[in-house]
Structure 1
Amino acid sequence: MDMSGLNLNDKPVEAEIIEEPLKTSVSREKILEEAKHILYANEKKGISIVVIGHVDAGKSTLMGRLLYELGRLDEKTKRSNERGSDKIGKSSFSWAWGLDGTTEERERGITMDIALQSFQTPHRQFTVLDAPGHKDFIPNMISGASQADSALLVVDSTTGEFESGFQRGGQTREHLLLVRSLGVSQVIVAINKLDQVAWSRSRFEEICTTLRPFLIQSGFHPSKSAFVPVGAMQGVNLVGRDDALSADLSQWYNGPTLVDLLVGLSDKLIPPVRDLTCPMRFPISNVFKQQNVGAAVSGRLCGGIVQVGEKLRVLPGDETAVVKSIEFEEGFVPWAASGSNVVLNLTSIDPVNLSVGSILCPQTDLVPLATTFTAKIIVFDIAVPIMAGSSVELFHHSRDVPASTVKLLSTIDRASGEVLKTNPRVLGKGTSAEVQIALRNTQVSGAAAVARGIPLETFRNNKEMGRILIRRGGETIAAGVVLEING
């Protein structure tokens, strides 16, 4: 059997060890009370931020240098990355190696999967998700964006490169639409590589002028967006502008550094409200086979709380697993709450029964499995309109499945919500509409032609579990929210 699609590592498996069942040590009510106190009383708020942008904009380099400036990348690792990147003729990628960990990523010089790091400032605890910029890895980028509260967009300011990323088909434009559609409402734009255009103020302002109306059009409020000039390779304006390398920039810019904006000194980043009382939902973004027994899964809690010893259901399917331990911010914790990016170490389950895109939930509050549902969508800037019966790819967290727009129910006025037309023939760019979507059967010939349902909830019940993206032919064509599960 081909196990590659399960994203399992291939460490050798030792003899199976039978473990005693774990039991929860604290009542859920007590954990809920403690979680509310920590989340709402603690001044050091936690924020997950996804780093996005067109390929080669310098995202991984910027984050690698930032981690070094903040003391999260030590000198020994820095020197090792410099020697390693120089050895394969890619010395300019040494900072990016702080996040690009796989051999293939380092050899190709591009991020392929989500890299996760964390750092602290006096008032913020950040979880950083570095997303791939190459269009071939958009599904991985969607997985990262679905785990984030805020976004850091990195753009290449060099002549022609910004334009290439922002024109139709460029990832600057698509990434902004994707993260906003997935609920991210706060964005910082880091205009990078200004050192390569002689720290041109006019170039910085030209890019800001181009991006501002698109951000507003995409749904980002001006009060929740900010622009900052940086030189990632040299570390200019990441945490300060005190050295000689910053002299040219300091002649015309006296605004905040990137870290100033990240810590929210201008109230640009506001930690979202966490729903602790709703049923726990945990979409799996990665699976790791363990040497002894069970498996580890990573992802972000989309509501509720989870604790060590809790028995969870894996959907789709009939399997259950027990939470052996919880890893959070480089340590082990007895419980985790909504909005946390964690690793759950599971026991009492074979890793083969866990896959990217599956949902963990309490046995008493199962997520509905949907094959047909009604959604309200917004159609992006597309050349070919959407018609009834159009074949599409449906993205929900880390899962993507083939689907069809079986019915176009109505077009809707985006401002008032009033129905403009029922049963439209097509949906063109910029249209807001209600549609019925059905999963397409993917069974081999001779098998029963029944599509397998996916765990899905209405936006009303759980905002993060109720968001969807629709792609076609390698392009994101629409995004929306689930209104009703039909079957």
Structure 2
Amino acid sequence: MDYDDDDLDYSSHEEEEFDENKLNNDKYDLLHDTLPALKEKLKSYNDEIPEYDLKEALYYNYFEIEPTVEELKSKFKKKKITKAKENFTQPSPDDVVLNAQKQAFEGVANLKIAPPKQTKPFKKVDISKALLSPDYAKPRKSFVVIGHVDAGKSTLMGRLLYDFGIIDAKTVNKLVKEAEKAGKGSFALAWVMDQTEEERSHGVTVDICATDFETDTTKFTAIDAPGHKDFVPQMISGVSQADFALLVVDSISGEFEAGFALDGQTKEHTILAKNFGLEKICVAVNKMDKENWDEHRFDAIKSQMTEFLTSPEVDFDKSQIDFIPISGLTGNNVVKRDLSVDSFKWYVGPTLAEYIEGVEIDAGSRDSLASEPFFLSVHDVYKDKGELKVSGKVSSGVISSGETIVALPSGESLQVQSLKVSKKPVDFAISGELAQIAFKTSQISNESVDQIRIGDLITKPGSPVKTAHKLLVSLHLFNMDKPLLVGTPFVLFRNNTQVPARVSKIVEVVNGKKKKKVLHLVSRQTAIVEIALTNALPVTKFDDNKVLGRIVIRREGTTIGAGTVIDFSE
């Protein structure tokens, strides 16, 4: 073996701590080639030695089997094997009794606990006929308002609700006075949606807020998500409840560029929206009044945003992207158009209100609702007067009061006591609706509401959804500041739930060179990987459900990749 000068210099040598993830390819291969032989050698001595200790000993013994075996025998005792002695070969009196009991109840041990049975709805309803009623004549749409912090998202939503007549001038005036008193005058309309005193005092929306409203043509749920980078997980929760995205960008020179910079939230929000299944996006170019409704400024933003939104990293279809110039503060082109503004006469498109009323979304066929599996991802859960109430978006199927559901991953089975949609009592809730489900707390194990948590999945008995600890994923990585190594921890998101995870194996790099072992992935690579989850996660294959089969991974506060679930195992 050849040595270089560095190998012969021991002046500053310190024994390195064993870390499998830091091994080079040759040592990694050698470790896993010798490990099975070591296990076989120790099988009769002690087959319960932790694998980490086996690997560590191999590493420090230069992957030589015999000295590794000797070291491990010095550290771990031989496993005791209990053998029956001759004087105990005859059954004791207790054994005789136990044997008789065993025969009396023969076969009971082979019985399996039956899964929870479905219960019938409290009220028999013909779903197909009910969907033809006036209550369901209007289409239902939900959209999430995303964008950089202070782009004017909440102010825009307040303006939209005010001009639609959902809130009155008295309410707005009250909020204006409170905002001015707190030194937050420009945030007056945002207070319509921001719920807590803390949020109002900071002037930054830190939690999602869903607001239901209805126009002459459509029923809406508007989801206002936080724009601050520290609250991206909450933003993901908002995205996972929406049908399409309304991206608000600040048109003011310098502000747009800040939101669109490498570390700005405009980019990350759009990447997340697309990778959680939103195919349609409207870019509301806000604060155009501050730019005197400059057409060239609008076109420049439109050009730059189109280039980004259609890039391989985001991959929106150009036909699914729309741009609307607005002013959330003055209200121009939100619900009404101010024709007296001469510098805005160049625009011939719709108002924002006309756009959201007219936008077409894939609502699916109502004819197949009864045969679809029911799924609801829990976005909120709380206890109220002896009831546990959970809310979230129905992503598939239908649920009725009286039916039994199963909460995953806990496996808790409960009977639905009542349902609400848009805060109104209903007999059933269907795919696409944001519903609230109430259960009796007395049904829950130990009456502990902790059995159901935000991010859990509500389904029906016999559902194809399973809880998994391992996923096989087609993973695409975005731009990263450092490679993703096998074993490196990150946070995996499925809808609004998150679990600690790591890549346990890189099966194949798509369009990459064939290697015996691949130990890391770099920016913009696509690979088939095995992902190990710290906690059980309810999941489906992407081919079975497009919503529950998508995942996003984040590391150190940054989204680094997205993928689809090919397979999973418990």
TM-score (normalised: structure 2) = 0.74
Match of 1:380 among 458, 478, 482: 478
1:343 aligns with 2:436: yes
Instruction: Find the counterpart in structure 1 of residue 548 from structure 2.
Output: 465
Could you give the per-residue CA deviations for residues 445-467 of structure 1, whole angstroms, max 9, x where no partner exists? xxxxxxx3111111111111111
Amino acid at match of 1:326: L
**Match for residue 231 of structure 1?**
327
In structure 2, relative to structure 1, the CA distance for the partners of 1:379 and 1:37 (3 Å cut) is: farther
- Whether the 8 Å contact between 2:417 and 2:438 is mirrored in structure 1 is yes
State whether structure 2 residue 392 is matched by structure 1 residue 295.
no
The CA deviation at 1:72 is 0.9
User: Cα distance, 1:27 vs. partner?
Assistant: 5.2
Contact 1:305–1:338, Cα closer than 8 Å, also in 2: yes
Whether 1:486 and 2:569 are equivalent positions in the alignment is yes
Quote the Cα distance in structure 1 between the aligned partners of 2:361 and 2:396: 18
Task: Name the larger-Rg structure.
Answer: 2
For residues 198-252 of structure 1, the C-alpha deviation after alignment (integer angstroms, 9 at most, x for no partner) is 22211111111100011112121111110010010010100121364xx044332
Task: Map 1:41-190 onto structure 2 (within 5 A).
Answer: 44-190=138-284
2:278 and 2:496 mapped to 1: Cα distance? Answer: 16
Matches within 5 A, 1:433-444: 433-440=527-534
Query: 1:126–1:271: structure 2 CA closer, same or farther, 3 Å change rule?
Result: farther
Letter in 1 for 2:170: K
Q: Which amino acid aligns with 1:270?
A: I
Q: Aligned-pair distance for 1:58?
A: 0.3
Letter in 2 for 1:251: K
Cα pair distance change 1:336/1:34, threshold 3 Å: farther
Give the match's secondary structure for 1:363.
coil
| In structure 2, distance between residues paired with 1:314 and 1:486 | 19
Q: For 1:455, which of 516, 538, 546 is the aligned residue?
A: 538
Aligned pairs for 1:347-426 within 5 A: 347=440, 348-349=443-444, 350=447, 351-365=449-463, 367-412=465-510, 421=514, 424-426=518-520
Partners of 1:420 and 1:185 in 2: CA distance: 32
**Change in CA separation of 1:23 and 1:79 when aligned onto 2, cut-off 3 Å:** farther
Secondary structure of the 2:301 match is helix
Does the alignment pair 1:334 with 2:432? no
Q: Alpha carbons of 1:35 and 1:305: their partners in 2 closer, same or farther (altered >3 Å)?
A: farther
Compute the displacement of 1:48 (Å).
1.1
The CA deviation at 1:97 is 0.5
SS at match of 2:179: helix
Equivalent runs, 1:200-211 vs 2, <5 Å: 200-211=294-305
**CA shift in 2, pair 1:481/1:239, >3 Å:** same
**In structure 2, what is the Cα distance between the partners aligned to 1:394 and 1:77?**
41
- Secondary structure of 2:310's aligned partner: helix
Residue 311 in structure 1 maps to residue 408 in structure 2: no
Describe the SS at the equivalent of 1:50.
strand
More helix by share: 2
Q: Give the secondary-structure state (helix, strand or coil) at the position aligned to 2:272.
A: helix
Q: 1:27 to 1:432 in 2, by over 3 A?
A: farther
Per-residue deviation, 1:315 = 1.4
> Which of residues 203, 219, 223 is equivalent to 2:315?
219
Which residue of 1 is the match for residue 557 of structure 2?
A: 474
Amino acid at match of 1:403: A
Which amino acid in structure 1 is aligned with residue 361 of structure 2?
Answer: I
Report the Cα distance in structure 1 between the residues aligned to 2:260 and 2:251, rounded to whole angstroms: 11
How many pairs are equivalent? 442
Give the alignment's Cα RMSD to 1 decimal.
2.2
Counterpart of 1:367 in structure 2: which amino acid? V
Listed as ranges, the gaps of 5+ residues in structure 2 are: 1-118
1:236-315, aligned counterparts within 5 Å? 236-242=332-338, 244=340, 247-264=341-358, 268-273=359-364, 276=369, 277-290=371-384, 292-315=385-408
**Can you list the C-alpha shifts for 1:166-188, whole angstroms capped at 9, x where unaligned?**
11111100000001000000000
| Cα distance in 1, alignment partners of residues 214 and 489 from structure 2 | 45
Determine which of 25, 31, 52 is the counterpart of 2:122: 25
Shift of 1:424: 3.8
* Superposed displacement of residue 152, structure 1: 0.1
Residue type of the alignment partner of 1:295: L
Contact 2:404-2:413 within 8 A present in 1 as well? yes
Q: Amino acid of the residue matched to residue 225 of structure 1?
A: I
Distance 2:131 2:522 in 1: 45
CA contact (8 A) 2:213 2:221 kept: yes
3-state SS in 2 of match to 1:174: helix
SS of the aligned residue for 2:417 comes to strand
Which SS does the other structure have where 1:371 is aligned? strand
For 1:98 and 1:66, locate their aligned partners in 2 and report how far apart those are by CA, in whole Å: 11
Structure with higher RCO (Cα < 8 A, 6+ apart): 1
Question: TM-score scaled to structure 1, two decimals?
Answer: 0.86
Q: Is the 8 A contact 1:412 1:421 kept in 2?
A: no
Q: Which has the higher strand share?
A: 1
| 2:388 paired with 1:322 | no
CA contact (8 A) 1:224 1:269 kept: no
CA contact (8 A) 2:245 2:281 kept: yes
The letter for the 1-side match of 2:149 is V
Q: Which runs of 5+ in 1 are unaligned?
A: 1-21, 414-418, 441-451
CA-to-aligned-CA distance 1:391-449 (integer Å, 9 cap, x gap): 11011122111100111112225xxxxx7646544322222221110013xxxxxxxxx
Does structure 2 conserve the Cα–Cα contact (< 8 Å) formed by 1:410 and 1:420? no
Shift in alpha-carbon separation, 1:85–1:406, aligned structure 2, 3 A: same
Distance in 2 (CA, whole Å) between partners of 1:243 and 1:77 is 27
Q: Is the 8 A contact 1:45 1:271 kept in 2?
A: no
